[in-house]
Structure 1
Amino acid sequence: MIRKAVIPAAGLGTRFLPATKSMPKEMLPIIDIPTIQYVVQEAVDSGIEDILIISGKGKRAIEDHFDRNFELEARLEEKEDQAWHTEMRRLADMANIHFVRQKEANGLGDAIYYARHHVGNEPFAVLLGDTIMDSVIPVTQQLMDTYEQYGGSVIAVEEVPTDKVDRYGIVGGTALSDSILELSTLIEKPAIGSAPSNLAIAGRYILSPEIFQAIEQTPKGKGGEIQLTDSMLLLLRRENIYAHRIEGKRHDIGNKLDFLKTTVEFALKRKEFAAPFRKFLEEILQK
């Protein structure tokens, strides 16, 4: 059973400068909900309430977001705004959230290594803090089900255009079903033409605790950082790893264009302004 989740959220967010000079990229809102709140909610919806967020310098806003704000709650009570008062209390109580700071930006593998004392000797989920999954069944829950069936580490994957494989970590392996592969290789940002498939790692994992030993043995890779994909390749030499094709849509909030697309898609799902917003978009397109 998976009881703990780790959310890496220590990246500098340089692709969103100047906004991220003083604001964590994980706090960028999709309308009125910070990105990382969607990620935490996915873990909670998957039955995980023990969550460790790997933060970094300038990320205090994330801690504040999931903490109590007694002054705000009191003001909402005075205004008899019960709906928002209840939501603020729910936000603070939605999970047992812990924080540890990554002291240097040394890559995703290094960030995960900071979770070793909290996780201990048990498998755990990893949800990237700048990736939102839109699905009926939470993607983390999908991976947990695959883990229960096969008993090994599980990576969420999705198909990407063949001419864009050099932007992702790519997996290769043997299909066990329409949605499950037993992996034989993982490559971080392979050259176009040499990738083992067009199945890209999609920002969700179930990892065995042996990953920490693999990270210890991983040299710095692309970008001079410890790449989690490289660590998982070492882990693959010791145990089986599986890939699960996700049922749902991944939204990468790490780049501006996808952030804009996600905002529009989510806005069109919101009942309170979906109709007028759609009309507004149609009017713009007609000009």
Structure 2
Amino acid sequence: MIKKAILPVAGLGTRFLPASKSIPKEMVTVVDRPAIEYVVKEAVQAGIEQIILVTHSSKASIENYFDRNFELETTLENKKKFDLLDEITKIIPSNVSIVSVRQPQPLGLGHAVLCAKDVVGDEAFAVLLPDVLVKTNAEQNDLARMIQHFDDSNAAQIMVEAVPDDLVDQYGIVDVKQAPAEGQSIVMQGIVEKPAIGTAPSNLSVVGRYVLPAKIMQLLQNTPKGAGNEIQLTDAIAALQQTENVEAYRMAGQTFDCGSKIGYLKAVLHYGVAHPKLGGEFKKMIKELDL
């Protein structure tokens, strides 16, 4: 079973400026908790027991959020605010650890993943991009299903979702013989970055979730800089395909790109109406706006 997950959080979040000028974009709240918490909980629900943050010196607040705060906990206990105390002490289960490594230079997603090599060791692992929230109402989330497919086939898994045909030029699109059903995987031939409309091999775009074998770390070490003068994870995956199958897993849930402002607002709406305490009142508020 996959027990380790890498979350690259070292980026500057330029798409979210000016908010990300002084606040890590991962710490911007979606309803009542930072976006990064949703991603960590997604990993934990899939059976992950170690979260590896690939971070930057300006992102200390992310590490602090998942750490204990003795002064705050003592204050809440003294004021008998036990509901709040319970909530902040159970952000992650006791069996889950969070460790951090630094990415000294912004050299791309592949480089960020490689920075976690010593922590991952010889184990297969997951990669979750924290800009993307994946929401599902199923008992088993999409990441858990990806991990199950990896265990069954021993093939790397790349999460994909269907996008409108007129938007394929905005995404990395996987090349597959036929689209799998939701919740299923199929061997893919490759990934085409932002293909021109009418030339795309499918309408399945890469979502920011990966389950990868330990071998990918060695491939990343030998991957030259590619697009943007950065080490690209997709280049290492392409090298992996020379010797092993890589599968595209078609997600059953819904994604929200919280790295973009409109995607963030969409996430707030969807998570807001589903909130167990605030959802009803939030729905009324939306109706009152009558926009």
Q: Secondary structure at the match of 1:98?
A: strand
TM value normalised by structure 2: 0.93
Equivalent position amino acid for 1:117 in 2: D
The equivalent of 2:84 in structure 1 is 84
Equivalent position amino acid for 2:247 in 1: Y
Retained in 1: the 8 A contact 2:41–2:92? no
> After alignment, is 90-99 or 263-272 more displaced?
90-99
Retained in 2: the 8 A contact 1:169–1:229? no
Query: For residues 182-197 of structure 1, what are the structure 2 equivalents within 5 Å?
Result: 182-197=187-202
Superposed CA deviations along residues 98-157 of structure 1, whole A, max 9, x for unmatched, are: 000111111111101111111111211111112111112222101011112211111111
The equivalent of 2:113 in structure 1 is 112
The equivalent of 1:133 in structure 2 is 134
The equivalent of 1:59 in structure 2 is 59
Retained in 2: the 8 A contact 1:77–1:85? yes
In structure 1, what is the Cα distance between the partners aligned to 2:170 and 2:236? 18
Kindly tell me the number of residue pairs found equivalent between the two proteins: 286
The equivalent of 1:172 in structure 2 is 175
The equivalent of 1:244 in structure 2 is 249
Equivalent position amino acid for 1:150 in 2: S
Equivalent position amino acid for 1:157 in 2: V
Distance 1:195 1:217, change over 3 A: farther
Tell me by how many angstroms 1:193 deviates. 3.2
> Which of 142, 145, 150 is equivalent to 1:147?
150
The equivalent of 1:215 in structure 2 is 220
Superposed CA deviations along residues 158-181 of structure 1, whole A, max 9, x for unmatched, are: 011222222222111234953321
Q: Secondary structure at the match of 2:58?
A: coil
Q: Secondary structure at the match of 1:12?
A: coil
Distance 1:163 1:218, change over 3 A: farther
Tell me by how many angstroms 1:215 deviates. 1.6
The equivalent of 1:35 in structure 2 is 35
Distance 1:133 1:107, change over 3 A: same
> Which of 131, 149, 161 is equivalent to 2:164?
161
Retained in 1: the 8 A contact 2:180–2:250? no
Tell me by how many angstroms 1:93 deviates. 4.7
Equivalent position amino acid for 2:90 in 1: R
In structure 1, what is the Cα distance between the partners aligned to 2:223 and 2:169? 21
In structure 2, what is the Cα distance between the partners aligned to 1:194 and 1:226? 26
In structure 2, what is the Cα distance between the partners aligned to 1:224 and 1:196? 26
Q: Secondary structure at the match of 1:83?
A: helix
Equivalent position amino acid for 2:170 in 1: R
CA RMSD of aligned residues (A): 1.6
Tell me by how many angstroms 1:92 deviates. 5.7
Equivalent position amino acid for 1:183 in 2: M
Retained in 1: the 8 A contact 2:10–2:59? yes
In structure 1, what is the Cα distance between the partners aligned to 2:33 and 2:276? 15
Tell me by how many angstroms 1:195 deviates. 2.4
> After alignment, is 189-198 or 42-51 more displaced?
189-198
Tell me by how many angstroms 1:84 deviates. 1.2
Q: Secondary structure at the match of 1:226?
A: coil
Distance 1:151 1:267, change over 3 A: same
Retained in 2: the 8 A contact 1:171–1:196? yes
TM value normalised by structure 1: 0.94
The equivalent of 1:121 in structure 2 is 122
Structure 1 position 203 matched with structure 2 position 214: no
> After alignment, is 189-198 or 143-152 more displaced?
189-198
